[in-house]
Amino acid sequence: MSTSASLGTFEDKIAYIEGKCGDNGDFSARRFQVFGRYPAALFGFSNMINPEMLNTNVLRPLMYRPLQLDDVDDLPPERLRDVLINDSLFFSQAKIEEAPDRWISGLVHGQSVVVIDGLEGAIVVETRHIEKRGIEQPLTEQVIRGPREGFIEMLGTNLSLIRYRLQTPEFRVHTMEIGRRTHSSVAICHIDGITNPELVNEVKRRLSKIDVDGVLDSGYLEQYIEDNHITPFPQVQYTERPDKVVANLLEGRVAILVDGSPLALIVPTVFSQFYQTVEDYTERFLLMSAIRMARLVALMFSLVFPSLYVSIISFNPELIPTEFAVAVAGGRAGVPFPAVVEVLIMEISMEVLREATIRLPQQVGGALSIVGVLVIGQAAVSAGFASPITVVIIALTTIGSFATPAYNAALALRLLRFPLVIMAGIFGLYGVMIGLILIANHMLSLKSFGIPYLSPLIPGNFQGLKDLLIRGPLWWMKKRPAFLQTIDRDRLGSNTPPEREARNVLDPQKIKNKQER
Amino acid sequence: MTTDRILKLGRRLIVASFFVIALTGCWDRLEIEERAVVLGVSIDTASPEAEAEEDEVSHLQGSQPVPSKDMVRVAVQIALPGRIPLGPGESGGGGKGSAGQTVWVVDVVGHSVDDAIMNLQQQISSRLFFGHLRVIVVSEQLAKKGLENVNDYFRRNSEVRRMAWMMVSKGSAKDLMVAAPKLERVPTLYLMSTLDEGIRMGKFPKDYIGIFWSNSSKKGQEGFLPYVEIKKEQNVEVKGLAFFRGSKMVGKSNPLQIAGYLGVKGINPAGYRVFVKLDGAPSTVMTAAAHRSSKIGLRIRNGIPVFSIQIAIDVNLEEKMGDKIHINDPKTLRRIELLQEEGSDKSYKDFLEMTQKLGSDIFGFGEIVRSKQPAFWNRHVKSKERWQEMYKEVEFEVSTSIKIRRIGMKGK
Amino acid sequence: MEPKRHITVIETASILVSTIIGVGVLPLPLFAVNAGDSGAPLITFVAVLFATVGVVLIAVLGMRFPEQTIVQYGETIIGKWPGRLGSLLVIGFFAVLTSLTAREFGEVVVTAVLKKTPVEVTVIVMLLLAALSVRNNLTTFSYIHYFYFPLLLFPALFIVALSLKNADVQNILPIWGNRPVGVTRGIITITALFQGSFILTSVIPHMRRPEYAMRASMVGMLVAGGLYVIIVAATVSVFGAEETKKLLWPTLELAKATSLPANVLERLDAAFLAVWVTAVFTTLLSSYFLTIQSASQLLKLKDHRMFSFFLLPFVFVMAMQPQNIVQMYQIIELVGRIGLFITIAYPAMLLVVSILRKKRGERVDDRSNP
């Protein structure tokens, strides 16, 4: 590695930088003279820097002599350096870097480098300017009641969105670079005084051990830091909602953001998080408890419904009412396949349709999904390819799987229903049960950063049950989740009751009395 | 570690072999439309000459011993998938299908029920499936010979539900299978709903096949079954109770005596109507029972159990013939009550006497003795046979109290 | 890595309950009425008391040696070789118990639901399920039991509650039965159904507070025993004692006679049997775990996982030994009776000797992980 000293002269430095970056078409180098007398050169990748800012805030002050100084001729190098940084540049993020490799890394990050004859090192100026999209509604996690902002690709913007909701000095951001070639910045966020420091250290440790070419999305990191890799169940939650990140930070979790990815990772994660939404907490608890139950039912539906159908039709038709059984037999009479095959075919074609509607351009997609569901379903029935009831079952299952807010968890359950259907085809209800036991045992053995995956159900925690199947009133949930082992356990001030003794200030009786008096 | 590797390999082999086994499996998968869903079964006696009809399916004639019992004729009612439309509306497969075509009735003879069903299976391609068997009809003739074989077969078969109905038919049982009542798409379901609705209207006690079995098994109780007859419009009348003693039918009652049974047991809701004749024909009223309750007391007198039965019935006045009487007079109402009490007392007593004569304790008085007076039971009864004898000698004291509660929308 | 002591009292109790409740519940009312007619609930209750005595013995022993399992303290108490012989008996007995449980459930499934599936397949499926799950550590083991605990309590209680509309109190009167015969035999048979409680010996050394072992076992026995009595009482009051005698698996028949309100499901036997797979699974898991853990401790192996598939063929072959269902139940009764010596008499003997010889395990805190 070369040091500044080895690049003695001004020309050496220029040659070094030109050698490293000069081959690029978007690289610009401009020679000029500082204060009209010291030769200098400015380097930068022209598309990554803000030219206006560069011109007005860097080039102009460097070329003109500072007004407050009379004599800038023949300054000794140390003095020149001070004058430049302290008096000339009106720029907050400018510093002198000695190491040439820092210049290069600065350049590729979008900084500009100014080399001046007679000056040790070079001035690195933060001129990065990258086009970004505006802050929009998070598309995958829409809510009716709640903030409308979603993360974008820029790490800085995302951090600002979080800090804006969490205006406390205890909110800590630790940044590191991952990716041998991409040098992506990764920010690890937590709240000091809440989050267990062991957890933060472990996250840092796991992240620092990653040595990979490139990190293009937070999803890359997820796969390196999760506990168990061979499982369909996600052990890291992702979100594009800043408010969700803040809520999780406040519970004592750690968030990981990656530059270039609009999705933040949240660790550690337990299963119950996947069917909870932000909205659960903004709306009244009774309603949201009911809706959460409905979501759970949908979750179970999407997992077991087809397999139950297969096992009842093919193995235990005595369970359903006689009238219905006879009718079902009638509906199935023309179908050439056994129920297992029929369900599998329909399920697979449903998955194909679903995938296709995601990939297709939006304008076509809407049309196709209608065609897919209505026409294909109807046609399959009238062609004697599937029985009407199968179509109903498949439709319910597919719709049910979309009720799960977390896409990755819904995907896991959707995937698992295929083995269940096959088990149902072999052993009927018995097989479904065996399959469910295997899945449950697997989930029980999963851990996310040491936390059992099914917490707070297993191991039991009464406090946690208030936010598991139902969403208890906010004033019930006085503590942060116990399984996160937070330093500060209390969420609620001890005397923050909901308004119990309401003062009837506008009671018509009272007001009337007052008026009469 | 090599052991580790071997173990891993072994594990994979076991898992793999399991999948191979499983995938070649699907032993029990049988689609619902591939099953011959049996909705009803009728069992008649058949003359020994019917043996000629039988093919050698379960046994070779002459070479293997056949049970000495007489032949039975079994008819099954199988639902025809496709003929019964899915969902409400749409008047069925092609419109021309009359109700008789939603099911298929096939009959066959055999030496025992299972034998007959084997013979039947030989003639039908899809596997007979008894999971939806709702009604079993046996003919009176067979019931009188004894139902041991029938009970055993259906109890042993794991597909048969305990909530099915078993009934005794007057005359041929097969007629009930081929009957095609107009109200239901599936004839058997009509039969079933006749009885189920009977329970709801207070016209019949709960007497599913499981309850019949339980009652017949009990030491101090006998079973009974509904006794039905098919009428000319192919509708079905519940004609009374068929009394059993052990597994043999020993007698039957008339329809109003079902009310007697329900009254003694105090089963609700109540649903029977009776005439009360005040002073001659023109001033007769009809009352409908609305609520029954009964209290059975037991004491031992001279080594014989004496049951005191107190029955209280709430009735509503439903109809009045002639204008002479004014029922808005409490005295008249009281008179009606008294008259009806008198009549009821007598009818209950007659009914009890009748069962005593037959030695068929369908009420379970013996069970009361067993549970309330175990010492007496252990000393003097102990077995079912002894109780059947003793039941003929037990004494009853019946007292009925009738209360008229409502008289309808009319004031007078 | 993993903390050694982490199993809570509730978890211990749920391990006990879900281990005890298993396939034995299906024929239980039959055993009970054969012994005591309408006195069946009382017989069951007495059997529960007997079984509780056994559990108390184990709990007391476990609290005396809070760091060790029965294999380890057996050697301490009665010497190396007699202790090893005792442990060998325990291992053998639980291996047999595992195989018989698997076989019994296999028979139930094949008789009631999957009529054409070979019984070998249903047995091997259950055994594989247990063998796969037994490879987890004790934490997951206790989680599994804790998770399935409600799944096994509620269906049973649900069936009982639904069947109550057909129940008649008269059927379980008089509560001491009408001069029943074979009461002792019945009590022994039913007591033998509680042998799964022996799992306590391997759980106590991992309890967070071993001194609460007694409380946990009392709760466990109360729940499991209570459920047993309730099931017997419900079955007999619905069917009557005489009818119950004619049914091979009265509890299953109870599910068959029950329908959900509004006829959503017209009968519950197949559904109940499916849910009951979990109950049988937890029982199998415990007895298999006990066998494997004891065997590896006897051989002073660090990891019990090695055995899980090694033992599988032996257990399977043993399970296939009974020729038919009648013979199987004879063997089950016989094994159960022999088992009482191992699960009650052996701990009792150990306890007496340890008191006489004043042997005692180290205190929990005095010693770090051995």
Residues A215, A117: one domain? no
Contacts of B129 in chain A (CB under 8 A): 317-318
Residues A298, A415: one domain? yes
Domain boundary among A433, A452, A471: A452
pLDDT in tens, C121-156: 889 888 988 888 888 888 888 889 999 988 888 888
Main-chain dihedrals φ then ψ at residue B300, nearest 5 degrees = -105, 125
**Residue among B28, B206, B211 whose CB faces C114 most closely:** B28
Nearest CA in chain A to C3: A450
Residue with tokens 């017209």: C266
Assess C333–B contact: CB distance below 8 Å, yes or no.
no
Distance from CA of C117 to the nearest CA of B (A): 5
Residues A118, A67: one domain? yes
Which pLDDT does position A165 carry in this prediction?
92
Which pLDDT does position A265 carry in this prediction?
94
CB pair distance less than 8 Å for C116 and B27:
yes
Which pLDDT does position C226 carry in this prediction?
92
pLDDT in tens, A439-461: 999 999 888 888 899 888 878 77
The partner residues of C109 in beta bridges, in order of sequence, read none
Q: How far apart are CA C272 and CA C251, in angstroms?
A: 10
Which pLDDT does position C99 carry in this prediction?
92
Residues A188, A41: one domain? no
Percentage of the residues of chain A whose pLDDT score is greater than 90: 21
Which pLDDT does position C267 carry in this prediction?
79
Residues A340, A238: one domain? no
Percentage of the residues of chain B whose pLDDT score is greater than 70: 83
pLDDT in tens, B33-75: 788 888 889 998 887 776 666 666 666 666 666 666 678 888 8
Residue A287 domain-assigned? yes
Q: Give the side-chain half-sphere CA count within 13 A for C346.
A: 24
Q: How far apart are CA A305 and CA A393, in angstroms?
A: 7
* Residue B268 tokens, joined: 């609700």
Q: How far apart are CA A285 and CA C26, in angstroms?
A: 42
Which pLDDT does position A187 carry in this prediction?
94
Distance from CA of B92 to the nearest CA of A (A): 11
Could you give all domains of chain C from N- to C-terminal order, each with its CATH number? 9-356 (1.20.1740.10)
| All residues at 6 or more sequence positions from A102 whose CB lies less than 8 Å from its CB, including other chains | A124
Residue A487 domain-assigned? no
Assess B104–A contact: CB distance below 8 Å, yes or no.
no
Query: For the sheet containing B273-277, what is the strand order?
Result: B273-277, B284-301, B304-321, B395-406
Which pLDDT does position A359 carry in this prediction?
78
Residue A35's domain comprises: 10-125
Q: Are C360 and C64 in contact (CB under 8 A)?
A: yes
Q: How far apart are CA C360 and CA C65, in angstroms?
A: 6
CA angle (A289 as vertex; A286, A292 as ends), nearest 5 = 150
Nearest CA in chain B to C237: B214
* B326 pLDDT more than 80: no
Nearest CA in chain A to C147: A458
Q: Are B211 and B155 in contact (CB under 8 A)?
A: no
Q: Are B152 and A338 in contact (CB under 8 A)?
A: no
Q: Are B381 and B387 in contact (CB under 8 A)?
A: yes
Q: Are A226 and A202 in contact (CB under 8 A)?
A: no
Q: How confident is the model at residue C370 (pLDDT cuts 50, 70, 90)?
A: very low
Question: Which of C319, C263, C345 minimizes the C-alpha distance to C106?
Answer: C319
pLDDT in tens, A332-377: 877 888 888 889 988 888 888 888 777 777 766 666 666 667 777 7
CB atoms within 10 A of CB A104: 16
**Residue among A323, A328, A425 whose CB faces B189 most closely:** A323
**Looking at chain C, how many residues does it have?**
370
Instruction: Supply the mean pLDDT for chain C.
Output: 85
Q: Virtual CA dihedral for C312, C318, C324, C328, nearest 10 degrees?
A: -110
Residues A355, A257: one domain? no
Contacts of C10 in chain A (CB under 8 A): 460
Q: Give the side-chain half-sphere CA count within 13 A for B127.
A: 14
Residue A478 domain-assigned? no
Mean pLDDT value across residues B377-399 = 85
Which pLDDT does position B85 carry in this prediction?
61
Q: Report the range out of A374-378, B132-136, C179-183 with the highest average pLDDT.
A: B132-136
The subunits that touch chain B, with at least 3 C-beta pairs less than 8 Å apart, are A, C
CB pair distance less than 8 Å for B213 and C243:
yes
Mean pLDDT value across residues A104-117 = 86
* B92 pLDDT more than 90: no
Distance from CA of B371 to the nearest CA of C (A): 5
CA angle (C58 as vertex; C55, C61 as ends), nearest 5 = 150
The subunits that touch chain C, with at least 3 C-beta pairs less than 8 Å apart, are A, B
H or E stretch at B176: helix B174-178
H or E stretch at B13: helix B2-23
Which pLDDT does position A2 carry in this prediction?
47
The partner residues of B169 in beta bridges, in order of sequence, read B139, B228
Distance from CA of B178 to the nearest CA of A (A): 18
CB pair distance less than 8 Å for A326 and B79:
yes
Residues 5-44 of C with CB under 8 A from B: 38
Distance from CA of B399 to the nearest CA of A (A): 43
Assess B82–A contact: CB distance below 8 Å, yes or no.
yes
What SS3 class is residue A375? helix
* C367 pLDDT more than 50: no
Mean pLDDT value across residues B136-147 = 88
Q: How far apart are CA B336 and CA B404, in angstroms?
A: 8
Q: Looking at the 3D structure of chain A, how many domains does it have?
A: 3
Residues A191, A256: one domain? yes
Q: What amino acid occupies position C1?
A: M
* B161 pLDDT more than 80: yes
Distance from CA of C275 to the nearest CA of A (A): 7
Residues A161, A17: one domain? no
CB pair distance less than 8 Å for C114 and A437:
no
Residue A372 domain-assigned? yes
If DSSP states are collapsed to H, E and C, what string results for chain C? CCCCCCECHHHHHHHHHHHHCCHHHCCHHHHHHHHHHHHHHHHHHHHHHHHHHHHHHHHHHHHHCCCCCHHHHHHHHHCHHHHHHHHHHHHHHHHHHHHHHHHHHHHHHHHHCCCCCCHHHHHHHHHHHHHHHCCCCHHHHHHHHHHHHHHHHHHHHHHHHHHHHHCCHHHHCCCCCCCCCCHHHHHHHHHHCCHHHHHHHHHHHHECCHHHHHHHHHHHHHHHHHHHHHHHHHHHHHHCHHHHHCCCCHHHHHHHCCCCHHHCCCCCHHHHHHHHHHHHHHHHHHHHHHHHHHHHHHCCCCCCHHHHHHCHHHHHHHHCCCCCHHHHHHHHHHHHHHHHHHHHHHHHHHHHHHHHCCCCCCCCCCCCCC
* Residue B355 tokens, joined: 């069962």
Q: How confident is the model at residue B1 (pLDDT cuts 50, 70, 90)?
A: very low
Assess A422–C contact: CB distance below 8 Å, yes or no.
no
Question: Which of A11, A10, A13 minimizes the C-alpha distance to A2?
Answer: A13
Which pLDDT does position A290 carry in this prediction?
92
Q: How confident is the model at residue B90 (pLDDT cuts 50, 70, 90)?
A: very low
CB pair distance less than 8 Å for B18 and C124:
yes
**Residue among A318, A332, A427 whose CB faces B132 most closely:** A318
| Chain region(s) in chain B for CATH 3.30.300.210 | 255-406
Residue with tokens 């979790």: A253
Residues A318, A442: one domain? yes
* B310 pLDDT more than 60: yes
CB atoms within 10 A of CB B30: 19
CB pair distance less than 8 Å for B29 and A340:
yes
Distance from CA of B408 to the nearest CA of C (A): 32
CATH topology for the B255-406 domain: GMP Synthetase; Chain A, domain 3 (3.30.300)
* A239 pLDDT more than 60: yes
Distance from CA of B229 to the nearest CA of C (A): 27
CB pair distance less than 8 Å for C121 and B368:
no
Question: Which of A301, C98, A74, A334 minimizes the C-alpha distance to B31?
Answer: A334
Q: How confident is the model at residue A186 (pLDDT cuts 50, 70, 90)?
A: very high
Which pLDDT does position C283 carry in this prediction?
92
CB pair distance less than 8 Å for A326 and B28:
no
Q: How far apart are CA C177 and CA C170, in angstroms?
A: 12
Residues A301, A330: one domain? yes
pLDDT in tens, A271-289: 988 888 888 888 888 999 9
Nearest CA in chain A to C106: A430
Residues A428, A291: one domain? yes
CB pair distance less than 8 Å for A318 and B134:
no
* B18 pLDDT more than 70: no
Contacts of B22 in chain C (CB under 8 A): 121
- What's the distance, CA A284 to chain centroid? 26
CB pair distance less than 8 Å for B86 and A428:
no
Mean pLDDT value across residues A388-412 = 86
CB atoms within 10 A of CB A353: 17
Q: Are A284 and A271 in contact (CB under 8 A)?
A: no
Please report the DSSP string for A428-483 in residue order. THHHHHHHHHHHHHHHHH-EETTEETTTTTTTT-HHHHTTTTS---TTT--B--GG
* B367 pLDDT more than 90: no
Q: How confident is the model at residue B100 (pLDDT cuts 50, 70, 90)?
A: very low
Mean pLDDT value across residues A38-45 = 88
Instruction: Supply the mean pLDDT for chain A.
Output: 85
Contacts of B10 in chain C (CB under 8 A): 309
Domain boundary among A269, A299, A331: A269
What SS3 class is residue B276? strand
CB pair distance less than 8 Å for C270 and A444:
no
CB pair distance less than 8 Å for B37 and A326:
yes
Q: How confident is the model at residue A17 (pLDDT cuts 50, 70, 90)?
A: confident
| All residues at 6 or more sequence positions from B297 whose CB lies less than 8 Å from its CB, including other chains | B307, B308, B309, B310
Q: How confident is the model at residue B96 (pLDDT cuts 50, 70, 90)?
A: very low
Contacts of A392 in chain B (CB under 8 A): none
pLDDT in tens, C207-222: 888 888 888 999 999 9
Contacts of C39 in chain B (CB under 8 A): none
Instruction: Supply the mean pLDDT for chain B.
Output: 81
Which pLDDT does position B97 carry in this prediction?
41
Q: Give the side-chain half-sphere CA count within 13 A for B242.
A: 28
Residues A260, A302: one domain? no
Contacts of A460 in chain C (CB under 8 A): 10, 146
Residue A508 domain-assigned? no
The partner residues of C343 in beta bridges, in order of sequence, read none
Q: How confident is the model at residue A385 (pLDDT cuts 50, 70, 90)?
A: confident
Residue A20 domain-assigned? yes
Residue B100 vs residue A432, higher pLDDT: A432
Percentage of the residues of chain A whose pLDDT score is greater than 70: 93
Which pLDDT does position A73 carry in this prediction?
67
Residues 152-211 of C with CB under 8 A from B: 166, 170-171, 173-174, 176, 178-179
Residue A113 domain-assigned? yes
Which pLDDT does position B239 carry in this prediction?
86
CB pair distance less than 8 Å for A340 and B22:
no
Mutation target among B29, B162, B378 for the C interface, most CBs of C within 10 A: B162
Q: How far apart are CA B137 and CA B41, in angstroms?
A: 6
Q: How many CB pairs under 8 A join A and B?
A: 86
pLDDT in tens, B202-247: 888 888 888 899 888 888 888 889 898 888 777 788 888 888 888 8
Contacts of A334 in chain B (CB under 8 A): 82
Domain boundary among A452, A471, A490: A452
Assess A508–C contact: CB distance below 8 Å, yes or no.
no
pLDDT in tens, B170-204: 888 888 888 877 777 777 888 888 888 888 888 88
Which pLDDT does position B221 carry in this prediction?
87
Residue A477 domain-assigned? no
Residues 125-164 of B with CB under 8 A from A: 129, 131-132, 134, 159, 161
Contacts of A340 in chain B (CB under 8 A): 29
Which pLDDT does position C100 carry in this prediction?
92
| All residues at 6 or more sequence positions from A163 whose CB lies less than 8 Å from its CB, including other chains | A171
Residue with tokens 């940044």: A175
Percentage of the residues of chain C whose pLDDT score is greater than 90: 18
Contacts of B217 in chain C (CB under 8 A): 240, 242-243, 245-246
H or E stretch at B404: strand B395-406
CB atoms within 10 A of CB B312: 16
**Looking at chain B, how many residues does it have?**
412
- What's the distance, CA A303 to chain centroid? 25
DSSP-derived secondary structure letter, A245 = H
